[in-house]
Structure 1
Amino acid sequence: MTHVVTLNAGSSSLKFGLFSLQADDPVAICTGAVDRIGGSGASITAISADGKALGADVPQGIADHRDALTQVLDLIVRQFPDAHITAVGHRIVHGGPHHDRPILLTPDNLQALDELSPFAPLHQPYNLDGVRAAMQRFPDAAQVACFDTAFHRSHPWVNDTFALPTEYYDMGVRRYGFHGLSYEYISDHLARTAPLLYGGRVIVGHLGNGASMCGMIHGRSVGSSMGFTAIDGLPMGTRCGQLDPGVVLYLMDQKGMSVDEITDLLYCKSGLLGLSGLSSDMRTLEQADTGRARQAISYFNFRARRELGALAAVLGGLDAVVFTGGIGENSALVRERICVNMGWMGIELDHDANTDHARIISTPLSRVQVMVIPTNEELVIARAAARFVYPHMYQSLLDHAGSDAEGKSA
């Protein structure tokens, strides 16, 4: 039996998986994560398909992403010595304006993707480090890039541009949107389980340490809260979200801040952390219940409600709202605060179902169905890699991706 490894590198974490290629869909046999890379509390967790915790010894911590990748790949080889790795699927945050589907990675296109690192400085370099490490460890395996921006290449021009001279759009200064792998999973899940909703107007909130919202019609993105970079839109764990660009000019001109200092402020010291002065973790803020923590949560919810209304206008109405991501899937408080008093939009929350984290958390009479669906970016990556190495075996997945691609280019 052959296998696919998936690597999903974030700014301080690394998610990974090992999938067997069987039946008509890849099956996870191991999933895991490395958290707090570079910190004193760095750890690796890995769980087999039967729920067994797999040993991961980290006696001296994990210094950086390269160290994390080495330890993860060592763990996979050690725990599954008979696994035949035919492909490695990689989450690549930025694919630029042209990549609207996964690609096979080569030294040439790897260099081209490296040139996009300034667009996603907290993610792209680590994504590409994962590719290079996997190429060394599994030289005979196909290396497949899955782009977070690809799902949003179906945007109409008005949702893709800024009001700048058109030459800037032509040079790549445009709204890209992110979290595309998560949105692709939700779109596919709705197509399989709720085809009527899939064919309608749906807003998905991927709410986590990174947060965004996406408006879909017939499963395709027509608008996203994120823009040129992954700091636009909603406030996040440490990223500021929507910001008047005049603030950046003021910080440079009047406060003498350098580009590096402003980058650190906007990406690493803002969002929930900056507002609360305590933590970037919504769970910690909900438990702390301090004045600043409550303010941070209120601002997060306010911006999410504002984006929800804006995307409903873009869609021309609304049939369903889906919450996903770490906060979206687990914070009943955030879901309630976003949905409360939204009856004018057709949203009527079932508070008991919401508290119980049910799949459907709207009332039977709600005109808009509100759902909680756990995302699975790793499965999306595994499916993409499987299509490259066994296109005939996974023809149904290939057909589905092809029809999406046709719709995106229309």
Structure 2
Amino acid sequence: MTDAILVLNGGSSSLKFAVFQQQDELHLLVRGSVSSIGHHPRLHVAPSELSREIDRSLGDEPIGIAKAFEAIVSYLEDHALLRRIGTVGHRIVHGGQELTQATLLDERTLDALHRLEPLAPIHQAINLEIVQLAGRLLPEAKQVGCFDTAFHTARPELARLYGLPREMSEQGIVSYGFHGLSYRHIAAKLRERYGDAAICL
């Protein structure tokens, strides 16, 4: 039964995760993180119907994103969640000018995302390493990317241009905007609470 979605959000110092069951609406099963991966890594899992709260050390030595992923996989296996995952959703910092909505991550798309690494050298590489790790672990699962830059693509062209020669802008050196997934969530919550008045807030 592959009725669950694993969501992964990797950064320079942490790897956050959540698992949702696909019903009429998404139902959160569990969420947590591996934090402080460059110092004293810890696994934290919030209390849920599936698990008590967990907050434990993963050792005194720094770990990479692959070891953080392994810690999460071990937890999911221990709680019989891994075999239920049919889709993996990834927060990816940079989608460039073309990837402006949630997108299935295939070979062509991943090649395009790797070419964007110079524009977000730390986070983009980490995000794509996580996609690779998840693809190896769950080869039958769909891998879907959601992009922080996508929220900002509706801005007018003038707002995206720097005071640089036009040929540089044409090569992709423009203002993309980041943290778009957070902004989208905040905007949705404001509209939910205030309705059309949220546009003026």
Taking structure 2 as the reference length, the TM-score comes to: 0.91
Unaligned runs of 5+ in 2: none
Q: Secondary structure at the match of 1:15?
A: strand
Instruction: State the structure with bigger RCO (CA 8 A, min sep 6), 1 or 2.
Output: 2
**Residue 42 of structure 2 contacts residue 55 of structure 2 at CA under 8 Å; is this kept in 1?**
no
The one-letter code sitting in structure 2 at the alignment partner of 1:120 is A
Structure 1 residues 90 and 155, CA gap change in structure 2 (3 angstroms): same
**Per-residue CA distance 1:63-107 (angstroms, 9 max, x = gap):** 111111121122112223475111000000011111110100012
Q: Secondary structure at the match of 1:194?
A: helix
What residue is the counterpart of 2:85 in the other structure?
Answer: 85
In terms of fraction of residues, the more strand-rich structure is 2
What residue is the counterpart of 1:43 in the other structure?
Answer: 42
The one-letter code sitting in structure 2 at the alignment partner of 1:6 is V
- CA RMSD, Structure 1 to Structure 2 (Å): 1.9
Q: How many Å separate the matches in 2 of 1:74 and 1:55? A: 15
Structure 1 residue runs of 4 or more that deviate by more than 6 Å after TM superposition: none
Q: How many Å separate the matches in 2 of 1:6 and 1:82? A: 12
Q: How many Å separate the matches in 2 of 1:136 and 1:74? A: 15
What residue is the counterpart of 1:174 in the other structure?
Answer: 174
What residue is the counterpart of 2:21 in the other structure?
Answer: 20
Deviation of 1:57 after TM superposition, in Å, equals 6.2
Structure 1 residues 9 and 3, CA gap change in structure 2 (3 angstroms): same
What residue is the counterpart of 1:32 in the other structure?
Answer: 32
Deviation of 1:190 after TM superposition, in Å, equals 2.2
**Per-residue CA distance 1:295-347 (angstroms, 9 max, x = gap):** xxxxxxxxxxxxxxxxxxxxxxxxx2xxxxxxxxxxxxxxxxxxxxxxxxxxx
Q: Secondary structure at the match of 1:20?
A: strand
Q: How many Å separate the matches in 2 of 1:62 and 1:19? A: 29
Q: Secondary structure at the match of 1:123?
A: helix
Matches within 5 A, 1:189-268: 189-198=189-198, 200-201=199-200
Taking structure 1 as the reference length, the TM-score comes to: 0.46
Structure 1 residues 197 and 73, CA gap change in structure 2 (3 angstroms): farther
Q: Secondary structure at the match of 1:176?
A: coil
**Per-residue CA distance 1:15-67 (angstroms, 9 max, x = gap):** 1111111123x12111111111121x211101243472147562465511111
| Larger gyration radius, structure 1 or structure 2 | 1
Q: Secondary structure at the match of 1:49?
A: coil
What residue is the counterpart of 2:107 in the other structure?
Answer: 107
Q: How many Å separate the matches in 1 of 2:154 and 2:148? A: 13
Q: How many Å separate the matches in 1 of 2:60 and 2:133? A: 21
Question: How many pairs are equivalent?
Answer: 199
What residue is the counterpart of 1:7 in the other structure?
Answer: 8
